[in-house]
Amino acid sequence: MAQTYDVIVIGAGPAGYVAALRCAQLGMEVACVEQWINTQGNPALGGTCLNVGCIPSKTLLESSEQYQKLKQGLDTHGIQLGSVELDLQQMMQRKHEIVAQLTDGIAQLFKSNGIVWLQGRGKLLAAHQIEVTAHDGSTSLYSADHIILATGSSPVTIGAAPLDGERIVDSTGGQEFTEVPKTLGVIGAGVIGLELGSVWKRLGSEVILLEAVDQFLADVDEQIARDALRQFTRQGLDIRLGARVVKTEVGDEHIAVYYQDQNGDHTLTVDNLLVCVGRIPNSDGLAAPEAGLLFDERGYVHTDEYCQTNLPGVYAIGDLVRGPMLAHKGSEEGVMVAESIAGHSVNPLNHDAIPWVIYTHPEIAWVGKTEQILKTQGVPYNVGTFPFAANGRAKAMGESSGMVKILAHAETDAILGAHIIGPMASELIQECVLAMEFSASSEDLARTIHGHPTLYEAVHEAALAVHGMALHKVNT
């Protein structure tokens, strides 16, 4: 007879482990199925985000930025240094230690909240049963009143550049190089490609990014994207737009990358190649046919706005369902589903108030609508911008490039979108997210007192500029 729980969660990434924790907090008996094996060969919680995604990549971004500042960013502060050397092994070791600390922390939270960790691969069967295949191949059956599917996503692979795990790698392998590549090709100039390309550029690689789309960062506000392209190019990132890779050949010493653009056929020779062209949901084999779970044409689990699937008592959250593949989006869905199971009154996620961040230097962050979307939709709007060049704190930090841009409805003044490129954009955007969640107007933000001198004053000034009232720039 299958062991029964109140809730079984399949997947322990940010969506799954948060859902499990919230269910346990609400008094439910919870089990969580997770099959992840880390780079040390040990079972681990945390999914892609903590093991090979958000956390290790941001750790490398921070370390590489510190290295770059020591090499060439401190002289303007009157600080002169001698020789600065890179210890890549130590940098990678620090990354592994931080990942271990956080994943071990989740294991401790599971233990403290009485959550049972079922190690292995979970599969949804009929009648609310779950089959768990352990790492040794043995299988066990469990059942639950409620089941939450949260198996995340994986990098997309392309036939033109088959991975070999050493020289042609995906985002996971792009965080594990044991030597700094002399030349690094990156297929895809989106969020992940830019972040990992920035890491290796700072550490000494010549980095060439091949982006098949003609428009740089097509989902970002066009004004912000143009500024970003200008700044990244100035940093030495070679970004080639409209470049579609058609074939790769791995030689004894180099990789030949064949690509096409509007000017014809080209060949690029690199030492290593990083493939970052998107992610797909981990839905293959998730459910047995007899379970009757409904998927869409792209492999996403079909759900309503409350993450309820077509099967009563079965939910899907995170990268498995439509919407942005963002850890924080999945976590909030996990909380919503847990509270719904507990009988609480819940509201669906406000997708217009989900922040996006690119952790390059400068950082890029945004929430809500872009100017191009508002134009397409015919929404009347006002724009307020403010440059960090006019912000005292940014000048003192030596980080005066970029801007804050706020879009507000021309009639109601409700904030429709906020876009930031510059220092600490990942932190500054949260004020705008909060404002939008509470349906604030640009005037509300403009009337909020901001400390001085702070970077947040740039947000304040952009809100003032919506109605031509900025104090520290000429209003146009």
- The domains located in the chain, with CATH, are 3-155+280-349 (3.50.50.60), 168-277 (3.50.50.60), 353-465 (3.30.390.30)
Q: Which of 1-10, 147-156, 211-220, 291-300 has the lowest mean pLDDT?
A: 1-10
The pLDDT, as a whole number, for residue 72 is 86
Tens digits of per-residue pLDDT, 72-123?
Answer: 888 889 998 888 999 999 999 999 999 999 999 999 999 999 999 999 999 9
DSSP string of 147-171? EEE---EEE---TTS---SSSEE-T
Q: Is the pLDDT of residue 155 over 80?
A: yes
Are 256 and 268 contacting, i.e. CB atoms less than 8 angstroms apart? Answer: yes
pTM: 0.96
| pLDDT (average), residues 249-262 | 96
The pLDDT, as a whole number, for residue 39 is 86
Tell me which of 135, 344, 351, 452 is the catalytic residue: 452
Q: Which amino acid is at 240?
A: R
Q: Is the pLDDT of residue 51 over 80?
A: yes
Q: Is the pLDDT of residue 285 over 90?
A: yes
Round the average pLDDT of the chain to a whole number and report it.
97
Q: How confident is the model at residue 359 (pLDDT cuts 50, 70, 90)?
A: very high
Distance (Å, rounded) from C-alpha 186 to C-alpha 194? 9
The pLDDT, as a whole number, for residue 1 is 66
* C-alpha 292 chain-centroid distance: 31
3-state secondary structure of 334: helix
Q: How confident is the model at residue 474 (pLDDT cuts 50, 70, 90)?
A: very high
Tens digits of per-residue pLDDT, 446-473?
Answer: 999 999 999 999 999 999 999 999 999 9
Alpha helical stretches, state H, 125-211: 191-202
| pLDDT (average), residues 278-282 | 97
Nearest to 132 by CA among 123, 143, 16: 123
Q: Encoding tokens for residue 205?
A: 């690689």
Distance (Å, rounded) from C-alpha 290 to C-alpha 426? 44
| pLDDT (average), residues 233-246 | 98
Q: How confident is the model at residue 339 (pLDDT cuts 50, 70, 90)?
A: very high
Q: Is 452 a catalytic residue?
A: yes
Q: Which amino acid is at 381?
A: Y
Q: How confident is the model at residue 378 (pLDDT cuts 50, 70, 90)?
A: very high
